[in-house]
């Protein structure tokens, strides 16, 4: 394998029992833990509605200000309690979680899609196209996104998560563009790209069949980083009360909790659970991203026989 | 005499030296001329050291590097102003194999992938079976079998196998000319003969010409028919390979051949050689003979102009040195 | 017959050296029981193709084998002292004083942000208590020894050509007058003419300073010009070692014969000799001779046990049982 520059022995790559069986030799521990966390949160949101009545997430559906079931006055039919408008906590979490994840996913996907197109054109075609794309993406990156988002959100009527995702996508594309462009620039000089050109391959063929497969780890890392960033932006807007009002989301729950002074009232069951889920989401995506980064780099070093 | 298939006319390539570049421009290739004929098939060696311009020439011929001035004509058409159809025809007739047998493979795909690309793009087969047969045929030519090669990933093959697969790929297109850029430099010495032998067989049995680009004059001597020796972008000497090696005329070529270490412990290098510091030689006077600082036969005359190619005797042996100027009065 | 050679002391002895690379899928045997020595004032060439282990042996001698490589067994003695017995601190003292390296791709081992005078000065000052003017004179003297002009003293590495950088590395290697220099492919990536200059510099240095050298490479022509004896390695094993004339004119081991035949001649055009390149898995060497899959003379006896090095003539050893059936050279 690769030799390191220190004299300490290289740690053997971690392999869980399942990884050994499936020969997933590229899985490392950060990726595994992060993926598990996100999977857990995802399942919670997707499978939850089959086990719990999501109607309870709406105003007035439950008794108000109920503490969770392990406290006195708590009831078993509202295990995590309820808040001042009569919404059951567990139901809110079950509905709000996928909504937050959805925003992140859509925004990051749009960002990656745009980034792929712009970045490839800029990197492969070079010249003026490259200069234009680079200037714009580098400028957008420096704009303080939350401030601008707040202004936009104040004017645009946010009815649902898709609209929000589109607005967030405005800031999600420069990152992937730069990553893709850097990758294309370096891959463009590779021998196999030359061979493909000699085989009269068309430009899309070269981009998608030759270069893209070798960019996957970087793209994946950029994507998960993008999801994380989009959820952060969305949550930021929601906590400030600028998110979609129809559908409960984790950020909105926190917003209601803040406006109703839940902290001062000691209603920890109101503000803590959404925060906990958000922490799990962010940490999970962070671990996946750095796990993928680790895979992306040794793969490069290990490629030469 | 048939028409040349490839004509390189006054090809010049300069790098840098633009408005924002503090260094003087680097002339990688200056007024290079060469005609390559397809009948009879032959191996033409372009020999030179690093910085001689041979890689620049290879890239220019393959369409990767537009020239600063001059033209590369394929059947009369400038390759840098071809339309799509003409380009496709050019790619079918002029192929390449490169030095690094690993870099040319996409690590993501199996070896089968490179053949699929070629079959698809050039319409080499109508059915899957035809394609499979064509690939197997090409692999057999280089001494390999499909079942031991196609399903593997590039890193699972040895360097010699990878290089042979590349030759098979080029052969599938039945090109007229294969540009071979240092094809055996990265292959073990004991396996080089295998690749060189394949090149000879392609020339003799399939009438494919080669442009063999190398710095190793020994292998060039073994397989080359004609040779062009480049020095800092200029043709120093050209002619039949045997003539140049046995009877070099240009002082640089003489120095070069004398410096090749003979694999005979009883025959050491004849004299000690002393070079002026190499950094002086690169950016010297652009109008003088490039070899002036190192030339043991230099004359006043040589500072004023780069000598053109002069014919030696009546053969096709030429050298770019004022020593062979028929009009020179000494 | 009295052998004058036997009286010259040995400066480097490598005895039964084995180096393995421990990968998760098994140990790669990079060097297997390698035995050779270098006498004072001689140059021994170490040749072989990719994967033969010559660089591994060089790294082992320098005690620079990096994980996952590990020296499993053997002795490396310099002037009688076994390096494997020494601590890291003592090794550091000895490196450069007793054993210097001219690395492959020396262009990349010079620090690009330091001038030559600083790099050479630092290397010397780290081992000897000389400073200031004396140090400067020493550096200039070394530059002159390798035929470089004095102005190189003030230049940065990127201002020098490949050949000049390589000669700076040679100058650094001889700075402390070590008895042994290991030159690992010192002229690869250099042009033929520049290669000749660098090779001459090395020979000149050896003549004047009486240094012994281990010259690692794969260019047989260069070996013929430079070395006194040649050691041939194949897949981690030393298969033949002998005087350079004998190796080139009458090689005994089938692999050496293959290597010599494969050298393209610039004297006459001969038909190419094509050989098969079957190799074994480096993790699973076959029992018996390591060359059995490619050897044109292979027999039963070759498959049983690994043939030991046997003496063929004065100073000439071969690891091939078939030798016994042939007349000695």
Q: Cα C160 to the chain's mean position, in Å?
A: 26
> Is residue B260 within a helix (H) or strand (E), and if so which, with residue range?
none
Residue A150 φ then ψ, to 5°: -60, -45
For residue A303, pLDDT over 80 is answered with no
pLDDT in tens, C156-167: 888 888 788 888
pLDDT at residue A285, as a whole number: 92
pLDDT class for A170, splitting at 50, 70, 90?
A: confident
Residue B212 backbone phi and psi in degrees, to 5: -95, 110
Residue A57: what pLDDT?
Answer: 76
Chain centre distance of CA C318: 18
Could you tell me the maximum CA-CA distance found in chain B, to the nearest angstrom? 71
> Which among C148, C263, C269 is the nearest to B263, CB-wise?
C263
Which residue bears the tokens 């899928």? Answer: C25
Radius of gyration (Cα) for chain A, nearest Å? 23
Q: Name chain A contacts of B138, Cβ cutoff 8 Å.
A: none
Query: What secondary structure letter does DSSP report for C6?
Result: G
Asked whether residue A69 is assigned to any structural domain, the reply reads no
Query: What is the distance in angstroms between the Cα of B251 and the nearest Cα belonging to chain C?
Result: 13
So what's the pLDDT on residue C15? 92
Distance CA B214, CA A65 (A): 84
Is residue B213 scored above 90 in pLDDT? yes
Domain-located, residue C274: yes
pLDDT at B236: 92
- Run of H or E residues at B114: helix B112-122
Of residues C148, C164, C224, nearest to B261 (C-beta): C224
Cα distances (Å, whole numbers) of residue A90 to A86, A275, C311: 12, 13, 86
Residue B191 is nearest to which of C264, C266, C277, comparing CB atoms?
C277
Distance separating alpha carbons of residues B47 and B227, to the nearest angstrom: 7
Residue B257: list chain C partners with CB under 8 A. 266
Is residue B329 a part of any domain in this protein?
A: no
The pLDDT score that the predictor gives to residue A145 is: 83
Percent helix, strand, coil in chain A (nearest 5)? Answer: 70, 0, 30
What is residue B244's predicted lDDT score, i.e. its pLDDT?
92
What integer best gives the mean pLDDT of chain B? 87
pLDDT confidence of residue A6: 30
Contact status of C50 with chain A (Cβ, < 8 Å): no
CB contact under 8 A, B104 and A196: no
Minimum distance, in Å, between the CA of residue A224 and any CA atom of chain B: 22
Domain count of the fold of chain C = 1
Domain span including residue B274: 6-324
Quick check: bond before C68 cis, omega within 30?
A: yes
Residue of C162, C271, C272 to mutate, interface with B, max B Cβ within 10 Å = C272
**Interface membership of B85 toward C (CB under 8 Å):** no
Kindly state the average pLDDT of the residues A141-168: 82
Cβ of C67 within 8 Å of Cβ of A9? The answer is yes
Structure tokens at B328: 């020179």
Q: Most A CBs within 10 Å: which of C59, C68, C109, as the mutation test of the A interface?
A: C68
What are the chain A neighbours of B104 within 8 Å (beta carbons)?
Answer: 191-192, 194-195
Task: Return the pLDDT at C243.
Answer: 94
In this structure, which long-range contacts are made by residues C157-160, counting pairs with CB atoms below 8 Å and at least 24 apart in sequence?
Answer: C157/C107, C157/C110, C157/C111, C157/C112, C157/C116, C158/C112, C159/B279, C160/B279, C160/C116
Instruction: Note whether C87 contacts A: Cβ–Cβ < 8 A.
Output: no
C57 found inside a domain: no
pLDDT of A73 above 80: no
What value does the mean pLDDT take over residues B36-51? Answer: 89
Domain assignment of residue B261, yes or no: yes
Inter-chain touch A214–B109, beta carbons under 8 Å: no
- CB-CB under 8 Å, B218 with C265: yes
Residues of A in contact with C69 (CB under 8 A): 3
What is the rounded distance in angstroms from the CA atom of residue C68 to the CA atom of residue A9?
7
Minimum distance, in Å, between the CA of residue B155 and any CA atom of chain A: 6
pLDDT at A262: 83
B268 touches chain C (CB under 8 A): yes
Beta bridge mates, C14: C36, C76
Q: Of C106, C116, C100, whose CA–CA distance to C176 is shortest? A: C100
Indicate whether A22 belongs to any domain.
Answer: no
Tokens representing A243 are: 């998110």
Q: Are A81 and A62 in contact (CB under 8 A)?
A: no
Q: Which B positions 34-63 lie with beta carbon below 8 A of chain A? A: 62-63
Q: Is there a contact between A274 and A81 (Cβ–Cβ < 8 Å)?
A: no
Here the tokens at position C308 are 């030991």
B234 within a domain of the structure (yes/no): yes
Which residue in B62, B103, B106 is closest to A198 by CB distance? Answer: B62
Cβ neighbours, 10 Å, residue B20:
5
> Cα Rg for chain B, rounded, in angstroms?
21
Tally the domains of chain B: 1
**Angle, nearest 10°, between helix axes C132-145 and C162-174?**
120
- Tell me the C-alpha distance between C16 and C74, whole Å: 5
Q: Do B96 and A198 touch (CB under 8 A)?
A: yes
Is residue A71 one of the residues assigned to a domain? no
Measured in angstroms, the CA of C287 and the nearest CA of chain B are apart by 22
What is the number of H-type helices and E-type strands within chain C? 10, 12
Closest Cβ opposite residue C23 in set A1, A8, A9? A1
Give the pLDDT score at A8. Answer: 30
What are the tens digits of pLDDT across the range A239-253?
888 877 777 888 888
Q: Quick check: C66 contacting A, CB < 8 Å? A: yes
> Do the chains contact at A214 and B117, CB–CB below 8 Å?
no
Encode pLDDT of A21-31 as tens digits.
444 556 778 88
pLDDT digits (tens, 9 = 90+) for C137-159: 999 999 988 888 888 899 888 88
Predicted confidence (pLDDT) per residue in C299-309, tens digit: 888 888 888 88
Mutate to test the interface with B, among A26, A191, A209 (most CBs of B within 10 A): A191
Domain region containing A271: 97-301
Residue in chain B closest to A216 (alpha carbons) equals B108
Mean pLDDT of chain A: 81
Chain C residues near residue B215 by CB distance under 8 angstroms: 191-192
Phi, psi dihedrals of residue A6, rounded to the nearest 5°: -95, 170
Integer CA distances (angstroms), B85 to A245, A278, B79, B81, B272, in order: 59, 57, 12, 12, 56
How far is B279 from chain A, CA to nearest CA, in Å? 29
| Interfacial residues of A (vs C; Cβ cutoff 8 Å) | 1, 3-4, 7-10, 12-13
Asked if B160 reaches chain C (Cβ–Cβ under 8 Å), the answer is yes
Q: How far apart are CA A147 and CA A157, in angstroms?
A: 17
| Identity of the residue in B197, B219, B259 whose CB atom sits nearest the CB atom of C193 | B259
Alpha-carbon dihedral B90, B94, B98, B102, rounded to 10 degrees: 60
Closest-CA residue in chain B for C230?
B265
* Interchain proximity C66–A7, CB inside 8 Å: yes
**Does any domain span residue A131?**
yes
pLDDT, one tens digit per residue, over C162-193 is: 788 888 999 998 888 899 999 998 887 788 88
CA distances from C247 to A111, A177, C50 (A): 66, 60, 20
pLDDT digits (tens, 9 = 90+) for C260-277: 888 888 877 777 777 766
> Is B87 within 8 Å of chain A by CB?
yes
**Facing residue for B160 by CB, picked from C191, C273, C277:** C277
Classify residue C194 by burial, with Cβ atoms within 10 Å: 0-12, 13-18, 19+: buried
In a domain, B129, yes or no: yes
What value does the mean pLDDT take over residues A279-303? 76
> How many domains does chain A contain in total?
1
- The predicted pLDDT at position B284 comes to 53
A257 Cβ neighbours under 8 A, 6+ residues apart: A83, A263, A267, A270, A271, A274
Chain CA centroid to CA C127, Å: 24
- Contact between chains at B215 and C277 (C-beta distance less than 8 A): no
- Report CA torsion sign: A190, A192, A198, A199: negative
Q: Is residue A21 part of a domain?
A: no
Whether A229 is in a domain gets the answer yes
DSSP per residue over B196-254, as a string?
A: HHHHHHHHHHH--EEEEEES-HHHHHHH-SEEEEEETTEEEEEEEHHHHHHS--SHHHH
Q: Give the chain A residue whose CA is nearest to the CA of C24.
A: A12
User: Tell me, what CATH number does B244's domain have?
Assistant: 3.40.50.300
Contacts of C67 in chain A (CB under 8 A): 3-4, 7-10
Give domain status of residue B1, yes or no. Answer: no
Number of A/C CB contacts below 8 angstroms equals 18
Task: Name the pLDDT band for B81 (thresholds 50, 70, 90).
Answer: very high
Chain B to chain C, count of Cβ pairs less than 8 Å apart? 129
Is residue B50's pLDDT more than 90? Answer: no
Residue in C199, C245, C269 closest to B221 by CB: C269
Rounded CA-CA distance B154/B114 in Å is 11
| Res A10: pLDDT | 31
Element (H, E) at C108: none
Q: Where are the beta strands (DSSP E) in B49-123?
A: 69-74, 77-78, 94-97
A161-172 and A174-187 helices, crossing angle to 10°: 50
Would you place residue A304 in the very low, low, confident or very high pLDDT band (cuts 50, 70, 90)? very low
Q: Which of A49-53, A110-114, A121-125, C90-94 has the highest mean pLDDT?
A: A110-114
Cβ separation B106–A192 shorter than 8 A: yes
Residue B104 lies in a domain: yes
The region, left, alpha or beta by phi > 0 then psi within -120 to 50, assigned to residue B10 is left
pLDDT reported for residue B12: 93
Q: Parallel, antiparallel, or unpaired: how do β-strands C99-102 and C180-184 relate?
A: parallel
pLDDT digits (tens, 9 = 90+) for B131-178: 999 999 999 999 898 888 899 988 888 888 899 999 999 999 999 999
Range of the domain at C286: 228-329
| CB contact (8 A) between residue C67 and residue A12 | no
A201–B117 C-beta distance less than 8 A: yes
Cβ neighbours for A79, distance < 8 A, ≥ 6 positions apart: A68, A69, A90
How many CB atoms within 10 Å of residue C309?
18
Nearest chain C residue to A25, by CA: C24
pTM: predicted TM-score of the whole model, two decimal places: 0.82
DSSP code string of A111-139: HHHHHHHHHHHHHHH-HHHHHHHHHHHHH
Assigned domain for B165 exists: yes
Q: What is the per-residue pLDDT for A16? A: 46
The token duo for A242 is 């600028």
Residues of C in contact with A12 (CB under 8 A): 24
Identify the CA nearest to B168 among candidates B129, B211, B131, B198.
Answer: B198
d(CA C205, CA C198): 10
Whether residue C248 lies inside any domain: the answer is yes
Query: Two tokens at C170?
Result: 């040679």
Among C248, A285, C268, residue whose Cα is nearest residue B246:
C268
């Amino acid at each position: 394998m690769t030799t390191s520059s220190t004299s300490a022995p290289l740690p053997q790559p971690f392999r869980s029992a399942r990884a050994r069986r499936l020969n997933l030799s590229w899985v490392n521990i950060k990726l595994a833990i992060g993926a598990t966390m996100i999977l857990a949160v995802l399942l919670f949101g997707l499978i939850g509605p089959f086990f719990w009545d999501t109607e309870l997430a709406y105003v007035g559906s439950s008794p108000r200000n109920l503490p969770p079931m392990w406290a006195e006055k708590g009831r078993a039919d509202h295990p995590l309690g309820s808040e001042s408008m009569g919404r059951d906590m567990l139901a809110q979490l079950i509905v709000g979680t996928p909504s937050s994840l959805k925003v992140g996913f859509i925004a990051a996907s749009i960002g990656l899609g745009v980034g792929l197109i712009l970045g490839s054109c800029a990197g492969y075609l070079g010249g003026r196209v490259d200069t234009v794309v680079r200037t714009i993406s580098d400028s957008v990156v420096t704009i303080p996104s939350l401030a601008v988002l707040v202004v936009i959100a104040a004017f645009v009527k946010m009815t649902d998560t898709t609209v929000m995702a589109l607005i967030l996508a405005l800031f999600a594309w420069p990152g992937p563009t730069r990553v893709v462009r850097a990758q294309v620039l370096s891959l463009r000089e590779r021998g196999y790209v030359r061979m493909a050109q000699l085989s009269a391959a068309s430009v899309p063929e070269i981009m998608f069949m030759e270069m893209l497969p070798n960019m996957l780890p970087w793209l994946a890392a950029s994507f998960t980083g993008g999801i994380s960033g989009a959820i952060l932006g969305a949550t930021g807007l929601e906590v400030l009360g600028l998110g979609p009002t129809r559908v409960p989301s984790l950020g909105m729950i926190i917003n209601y909790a803040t406006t109703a002074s839940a902290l001062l009232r000691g209603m920890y069951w109101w503000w803590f659970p959404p925060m906990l889920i958000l922490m799990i989401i962010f940490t999970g995506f962070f671990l996946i991203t750095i796990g993928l980064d680790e895979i992306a780099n040794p793969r490069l070093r290990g490629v030469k026989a | 005499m048939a028409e040349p298939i490839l004509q390189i006319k006054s090809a010049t390539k300069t790098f840098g030296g633009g408005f924002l570049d503090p260094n003087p421009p680097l002339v990688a290739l200056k007024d290079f001329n060469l005609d390559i004929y397809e009948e009879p098939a032959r191996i033409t060696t372009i020999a030179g050291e690093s910085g001689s311009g041979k890689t620049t020439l290879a890239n220019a011929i393959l369409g990767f590097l537009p020239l600063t001035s001059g033209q590369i004509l394929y059947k009369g058409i400038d390759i840098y102003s071809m339309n799509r159809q003409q380009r496709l025809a050019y790619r079918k007739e002029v192929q390449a194999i490169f030095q690094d047998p690993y870099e040319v493979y996409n690590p993501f795909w199996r070896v089968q992938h490179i053949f699929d690309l070629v079959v698809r793009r050039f319409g080499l087969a109508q059915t899957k079976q035809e394609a499979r047969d064509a690939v197997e045929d090409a692999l057999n030519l280089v001494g390999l079998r499909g079942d031991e090669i196609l399903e593997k990933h590039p890193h699972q093959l040895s360097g010699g196998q990878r290089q042979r697969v590349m030759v098979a790929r080029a052969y599938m297109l039945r090109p007229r000319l294969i540009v071979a850029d240092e094809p055996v430099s990265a292959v073990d010495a004991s396996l080089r003969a295998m690749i060189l032998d394949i090149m000879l067989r392609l020339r003799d049995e399939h009438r494919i010409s080669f442009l063999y680009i190398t710095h190793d004059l020994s292998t060039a001597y073994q397989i080359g028919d004609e040779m062009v020796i480049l020095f800092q972008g200029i043709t120093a000497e050209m002619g039949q390979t045997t003539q140049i090696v046995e009877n070099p005329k240009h002082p640089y070529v003489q120095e070069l051949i004398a410096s090749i270490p003979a694999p005979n412990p009883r025959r050491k290098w004849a004299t000690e050689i002393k070079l002026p510091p190499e950094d002086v030689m690169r950016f010297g006077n652009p109008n003088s003979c490039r070899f002036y600082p190192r030339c043991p036969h230099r004359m006043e005359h040589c500072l004023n102009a780069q000598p053109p190619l002069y014919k030696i005797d009546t053969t096709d042996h030429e050298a770019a040195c004022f020593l062979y100027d028929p009009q020179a009065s000494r | 017959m009295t052998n004058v050679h036997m009286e010259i002391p040995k400066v480097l002895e490598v005895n039964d050296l084995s180096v393995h690379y421990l990968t998760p899928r098994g140990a790669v045997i990079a060097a297997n029981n390698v035995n050779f020595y270098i006498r004072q004032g001689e140059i021994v060439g170490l040749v072989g193709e990719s994967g033969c282990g010559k660089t591994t042996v060089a790294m082992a001698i320098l005690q620079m084998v990096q994980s996952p490589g590990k020296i499993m067994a053997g002795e490396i003695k310099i002037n009688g002292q076994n390096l494997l017995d020494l601590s890291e601190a003592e090794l550091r003292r000895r490196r450069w004083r007793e054993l210097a390296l001219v690395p492959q791709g020396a262009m990349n081992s010079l620090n690009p942000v330091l001038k030559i005078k600083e790099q050479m000065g630092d290397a010397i000052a780290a081992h000897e208590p000389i400073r200031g003017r004396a140090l400067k004179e020493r550096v200039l003297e070394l530059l002159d020894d390798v035929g470089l002009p004095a102005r190189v003293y003030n230049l940065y590495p990127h201002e020098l050509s490949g050949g000049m950088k390589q000669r700076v590395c040679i100058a650094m290697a001889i700075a402390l007058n070590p008895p042994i220099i290991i030159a690992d492919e010192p002229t690869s990536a250099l042009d033929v003419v520049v290669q000749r200059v660098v090779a001459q510099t090395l020979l000149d240095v050896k003549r004047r300073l009486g240094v012994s050298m281990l010259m690692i490479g794969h260019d047989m022509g260069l070996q013929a010009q430079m070395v006194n004896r040649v050691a041939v390695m194949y897949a981690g094993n030393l298969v033949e070692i002998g005087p350079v004339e004998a190796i080139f004119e009458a090689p005994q081991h089938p692999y050496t014969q293959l290597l010599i035949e494969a050298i393209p001649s610039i004297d006459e055009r001969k038909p190419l000799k094509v050989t098969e390149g079957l190799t074994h898995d480096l993790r699973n060497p076959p029992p018996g001779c390591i060359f059995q899959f490619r050897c044109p003379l292979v027999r039963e006896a070759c498959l049983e046990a690994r043939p030991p090095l046997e003496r063929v003539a004065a100073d000439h050893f071969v690891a091939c049982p078939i030798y016994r059936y042939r007349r000695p050279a």
